[in-house]
Amino acid sequence: PVLKAAHSMKIPTVVHESNAVPGLTTKMLAGTTDRILVGFEESRQYYRHRERVFVTGTPVRQEFCSADKAAAKEKLGLDPNKPLVVSVWGSLGAAFMNKTMVGFIGKALGNPFFGLIHSAGKGGYKKMLAEMEQAGISNAKERGMDVREYIYDMPLVMAAADLVVCRSGASTLSELAALGRPAILVPSPNVTNNHQEKNARVLEKAGAAVIIPESEITEDKLLGSVSLLLSRPDTLTAMSEQMKKLGMGNATSIIADIILDLAK
């Protein structure tokens, strides 16, 4: 309503769409707003007035743009020669993925050639610990599988990662791109217009990520995919390079410049 009113008063308007495809609000404003800012080059195709579309990326905290893997691992006290997998599913977690990760951790501990930091979320942390205990999984953290309620130092932890396993919300993908971290993406099926899968497909097409739909995921399939990628450092390097190409570390400045230019 504010942008519609502004347009009727001939006040310049800007909308930013973080997702790969336009959401309902963006669709409603696309015909009238002066600038449509998008996160991905591939997003241009969804807009009729392409002369108004500017690829800016999505802003991320500066810490995601200046992190170093070796320094991050050292700061976290991790073995620099042991691959690290980071598994994160939002602040509240994801019950299905936590359950999957219990089995994943149990089997990974049989041959612990990589480390894991998993964020169970505030809503599922205690339940996940109870399920691990019930499954006979003990001393997981001491054996390299660290299950946390929440990752408070996310830029540092993701910087240390060799591989990230996560959802495909726009902000998370922007952070991955800023750091250049390869990923296994499990899009949330519980979002409007299935936009997380559409986000993920952009990264998959670029060769920066692998997608496993939640309907197909099992602890064995996830462990197999993680193990395969970690055993192929050249593939991870190539994925990392492609991921980095998708990132725009100066997104905040680009957006600010567009806004200030219109304001003049």
Helix axes 219-230, 233-246, angle to 10 degrees: 90
Query: CA 169, 171, 174, 179: dihedral to nearest 10 degrees?
Result: -110
What's the rounded Cα separation, in Å, for the pair 112 and 230?
A: 12
pLDDT of residue 54: 96
Please name the residues in contact with 167: beta carbons below 8 A apart, sequence gap of 6 or more. Answer: 89, 90, 94, 185, 186, 187, 188, 196
Neighbours of 112 (CB within 10 A): 14
Contact 238, 207 (CB under 8 A): yes
Contact 181, 240 (CB under 8 A): yes
Could you list the pLDDT tens digit for every one of the 264 residues in the chain?
999 999 999 999 999 999 999 999 999 999 999 999 999 998 999 999 999 999 999 999 988 887 789 999 999 999 999 999 999 987 655 888 999 999 999 999 998 899 999 999 988 899 999 999 999 999 999 999 999 999 999 999 999 999 999 999 999 999 999 999 999 999 988 777 788 999 999 999 999 999 999 999 999 999 999 999 999 999 999 999 999 999 888 999 999 999 999 999
pLDDT of residue 91: 62
Contact 249, 137 (CB under 8 A): no
Q: CA distances (Å), 194 to each of 6, 125, 142, 190, 191, in order?
A: 31, 27, 38, 8, 6
* Dihedral pair phi/psi, residue 101, rounded to 5°: -70, -25
Where helices occur in the chain by DSSP H, the ranges are 2-8, 24-29, 69-76, 95-108, 125-134, 154-160, 170-179, 195-206, 219-230, 233-246, 251-263
Contact 186, 165 (CB under 8 A): yes
pLDDT of residue 187: 93
Q: Looking at the DSSP assignment, which residues form a beta bridge with residue 185? A: 166, 211
pLDDT of residue 122: 86
Please name the residues in contact with 41: beta carbons below 8 A apart, sequence gap of 6 or more. Answer: 55
